[in-house]
Amino acid sequence: MGVVRYGSDLIVDLLNRYEVPYVAMNPGATVRGIHDSILHYADHRPEIIQCPHEEVSIGIAHGYAKVTGRPMVAMVHNLVGLLHGAMAVYMAYTDRVPLLLLGASGPMAVGRRRPRVDWDHTALVQGNAVRDYVKWDDQPFDADGVLHSFSRAYRIASTEPKGPVYLCFDVAFQEDELETEVALPDPARGGVLTPLGTDAAALSAVADYLLAAARPVIVADHVGRNPERVETLVELAELTAAPVLDLNGRMNFPSSHPLFRLDRDVLRDADLVLFLDVRDQHGTLCETDHDARPTGRSRVEPGCRLVSIDLGELEMSSWTNSTQRFMEVDLAVLGDTRDALPRLVDLLRSRAPDALPGSSVAGRDSRMATLGVEHAERRTAWLKKAEAGGETVPMSPARMVLEVGKAIEGYDWVLTANTVKDWARRLWNVDEPHRHPGKHLGTATQIGISLGVALAHKGSGRLVVDLQPDGDLLYDASALWVAAHHQIPMLVVMYNNRAYHNSWDHQTRMAAYRGRGGDGIEIGTALDDPAPDFAGLARSFGWYAEGPISDAEALGGALERAIAVVQGEGRPALVDAVTLPR
* Eight-state DSSP code of residue 69: S
Smallest CA-to-CA distance from 309 within 235, 161, 202, 201 is with 202
Report residue 387 CA to chain centroid gap: 29
Q: Same domain, yes or no, for 101 and 207?
A: no
Pair (136, 260) in one structural domain = no
pLDDT in tens, 498-555: 988 888 888 888 888 888 887 888 888 888 989 999 999 999 999 999 999 999 999 9
pLDDT of residue 1: 44
Do both 444 and 487 map to the same domain? yes
Among 432, 390, 398, smallest CA distance to 415 is for: 432
The Cα 420–Cα 465 span in angstroms is: 13
User: With a cut of 70, which residues of the chain have pLDDT below it?
Assistant: 1-2, 290, 356, 360
The rounded distance, in Å, linking the Cα atoms of 69 and 46 is: 18
pTM (predicted TM-score):
0.96
Q: Which of 160, 132, 172, 153 is nearest to 29 (CA)?
A: 172
- For the sheet containing 99-105, what is the strand order? 47-50, 22-25, 73-75, 99-105, 164-170, 136-138
405 and 553 share one domain: yes
State whether 26 and 171 are in the same domain.
Answer: yes
Helix/strand/coil for 458: coil
Contacts of 115 (CB under 8 A, 6+ apart): none
Q: Which amino acid makes up residue 136?
A: W
Q: Which long-range contacts (CB under 8 A, 24 or more apart) does 376-381 make?
A: 376/258, 378/263, 379/256, 379/426
Judge if 464 and 368 occupy the same domain: no
Distance, C-alpha 123 to centroid of its chain: 30
Q: For the chain, how many structural domains are there in total? A: 3
Give 571's contacts (C-beta < 8 A, 6+ positions apart).
Answer: 484, 487, 489, 542, 543, 544, 565
Using CA atoms, how far apart are residues 137 and 183, in angstroms rounded to an integer? 23
Do 174 and 110 lie in one domain? The reply is: yes
CA nearest neighbour of 223 among 213, 234, 215 = 234
Which residue among 333, 351, 376 closes a domain?
Answer: 376
Contact status, residue 18 vs residue 165, Cβ threshold 8 Å:
no
Instruction: Please indicate, yes or no, whether residues 326 and 454 belong to a single structural domain of this protein.
Output: no
pLDDT of residue 2: 59
Domain boundary among 344, 376, 408: 376
Specify whether 258 is located in the same domain as 371.
yes
Residue 383 placed within a domain: no
Classify 121 as helix, strand or coil.
coil
Task: Confirm whether 447 is domain-assigned.
Answer: yes
Residue type at 88?
Answer: A
Q: Please measure the distance between the N-terminal and C-terminal CA atoms of the chain and give it in whole angstroms.
A: 70
In a domain, 195, yes or no: no
**Which burial class, exposed, middle or buried, applies to 556 when counting CB atoms under 10 A from its CB (0-12, 13-18, 19+)?**
middle
CATH of the domain at 160: 3.40.50.970
- Specify whether the CB–CB gap between 286 and 299 falls below 8 A: yes
The pLDDT score that the predictor gives to residue 503 is 87
Is residue 58 domain-resident?
yes
Residue 186 maps to a domain: yes
Is the same domain home to 157 and 216? no
Question: Does a structural domain hold residue 1?
Answer: no
Domain region containing 56: 7-190
Residues 12 and 128 in one domain: yes
The answer for residues whose C-beta is within 8 angstroms of residue 378's C-beta and 6 or more apart is 263
Would residue 382 count as lying in a domain?
no
Phi, psi of 539 (to 5 degrees): -60, -35
CA dihedral 16, 19, 22, 26 (to 10 degrees): -50
Domain of residue 234, CATH code: 3.40.50.1220
269 and 325 co-located in one domain: yes
Residue 535, in any domain of the structure: yes
Indicate the residue among 323, 348, 376 that finishes a domain. 376
